Amino acid sequence: MGGIPCSIVKRSVTKAFAPMQELTRRYIKSWQDGTQAAFLSRFWESAMRGDGLVLLKDSTKKLFKVADHGDGVHNTDADNNSNNSSKRSSQNSNKKNSEKDNSSSR
């Protein structure tokens, strides 16, 4: 009985572990070439300036604006009812005026 050829096993192991090996190599290199140190330095400076709090404040303002229907004014049911009744009365008067115009043109 033969078995699995060595070349197939070698290729399978390389295919399985090469991506993780490359990722590990790049991670170690990033510490050696200063990439990680630069990132951590920028992160620390940003944290000390309070950039995260500024983002939180801006996001909260936007959230309240959206919650207020985008206009910054709270609409109550009374406001909505008065707006609806004024719309209805103007629609009724427009309808009456158009009926008068149609009857006078006949």
User: What is the distance between the alpha carbons of residues 69 and 83, in angstroms, rounded to a whole number?
Assistant: 16
pLDDT for the residue numbered 6: 87
**Radius of gyration over every alpha carbon of the chain, rounded to an integer in angstroms:** 36
Instruction: Judge if pTM exceeds 0.75.
Output: no
pLDDT for the residue numbered 20: 94
User: What is the distance between the alpha carbons of residues 61 and 55, in angstroms, rounded to a whole number?
Assistant: 10
Percent of the chain's residues with pLDDT above 70:
63
C-beta of residue 69 within 8 angstroms of C-beta of residue 75: yes
Position 80 confidence tier, pLDDT thresholds 50, 70, 90? low
At 12, the amino acid letter reads: S
pLDDT for the residue numbered 32: 92
